[in-house]
Amino acid sequence: MLYTSSVPSLYIHFPFCKSRCAYCDFYSCSLAQLKADRDKIFRDYGDKIIQQNSLLSHEFGIKDYSTVYLGGGTPSLYSLKELERIFAALKLLPEEREITIEVNPESLDSARLREYGRLGINRISMGVQSLDEKVLKAMGRISGREQALQSVQLLKGWKEGTWSADFIFAYPGQDKKSQLEDLRQFLALEPPHFSFYSLTVEEGTALHRRLEGGQLTLPDDEEMEQAWEEALIMIKQAGYERYEISSFCREEKYSQHNLAYWNSHDWIGLGPAAASKMGGRRFTGKDLDSFLASEEQNLLSRGDFYQEEILSREDILAEEIMMGLRTKWGIGKERLESYLSFDDFSLLLASTLKKWQRRLVLDRSGLRLTSSGLDWHSAVMVDLLLDLDKFFDYNTSL
């Protein structure tokens, strides 16, 4: 059930959007603002992705990828012909592995869906975000409610794979009643998997500016806390398992690619702003112009195209714990013991475990948050990071 693999995953970023949504800080460019013509950009982009993959696979001796995720941006805006060329060059053959593509409702139709199936894509993740017309408008989403519903119908009839949808909690304009009604309508669509995110207001976004300028206000905290609790009950009653802080599914349709991240496996990220993590190194690509202009040697992992971060042993352990605790399984005992003995961990975390009893558990299967503890992930992590700091400060040789 729990995904494990020593083969890295692959992420390919497609930084193209029709327009920017108010809340989004992912790296993407508006298609209308691109200087060269679209076909040429898509072709050049395909060439660079193929080149970057070939250089990095050779450098790290990668023969294959365990899961593949095409994210963005809006990958469903990208040319099918170019996508096919990338799939052929990277030898992403239809197999048993999960291959996901993110789509938006307005750029999905039945022909595109068929082509995705033919390429071997077996999972679609659609940005629905809300079914409330007013909220969708405030978010700056291109597609309205009707378009989202039509695209969901297409996904429900898709034979080649499964699908997931993203939904946002507590956007300005929502209150407890409207949020729960929105969720009720969303659950009626019966997505096999969905991500239900609490809104994070990122600096530099239009949403942040509107909140700062007083044109918008966030929903009341206390009211939304109650809404969240009721939402979790509704979701459970609808037969969904909460297997990660924001991820829910039926019939164990877990996102294998995200599990690779949460289990701290290695991955290669291709394209601008895409991060890779290989061993104790993380390197993150720069912007689209740098990507398209990069000479071959600069796409190797130590090339100028990236910002590099060398992770210390403490960083790696902290990240493994932080990512692992996002899931209901937590981080396994064997993983913990590759750093410290179980008894040492018990001693090190004793006061934090006491403070968070009933929310944080350390036992013979590992360290994990309980179902009520998942909502306290950030606060628990603050204490765990202090514990790790203390330990590594006294044990500098580790």
Q: How far is the CB of 7 from ligand SF4 (least distance, A)?
A: 28
Nearer CB in complex with ligand SF4: 140/303:
140
Degrees, nearest 5: CA angle 180-186-187 = 90
122 CB-contact burial (10 Å; exposed 0-12 / middle 13-18 / buried 19+): buried
E-strand ranges in 96-190 read: 99-103, 123-129, 162-169
Q: How far is the CB of 24 from ligand SF4 (least distance, A)?
A: 3
Q: How far is the CB of 20 from ligand SF4 (least distance, A)?
A: 5
Residue nearest to ligand SF4 (CB): 24
Q: How far is the CB of 73 from ligand SF4 (least distance, A)?
A: 5
Nearer CB in complex with ligand SF4: 28/276:
28
Q: Per-residue DSSP letters for 8-19?
A: PEEEEEE-EESS
Nearer CB in complex with ligand SF4: 104/256:
104
Nearer CB in complex with ligand SF4: 49/56:
49
Q: How far is the CB of 166 from ligand SF4 (least distance, A)?
A: 9
Q: Which of 372, 383, 319, 380 is nearest to 348 (CA)?
A: 383
Residue with tokens 């948050």: 369
List, in order, residues 6 or more apart from 3 with CB less than 8 Å away: 254, 256, 259, 260, 263
Nearer CB in complex with ligand SF4: 24/108:
24
Q: Which residues lie near ligand SF4 (CB under 6 A)?
A: 17, 20-21, 24, 26, 28, 72-74, 104, 127
Q: How far is the CB of 19 from ligand SF4 (least distance, A)?
A: 7
Degrees, nearest 5: CA angle 78-93-6 = 105
Nearer CB in complex with ligand SF4: 14/228:
14
Nearer CB in complex with ligand SF4: 155/369:
155
Q: How far is the CB of 333 from ligand SF4 (least distance, A)?
A: 38
* Phi, psi dihedrals of residue 241, rounded to the nearest 5°: -100, 130
Degrees, nearest 5: CA angle 234-239-244 = 80
**Which H or E element spans position 384?**
helix 377-394
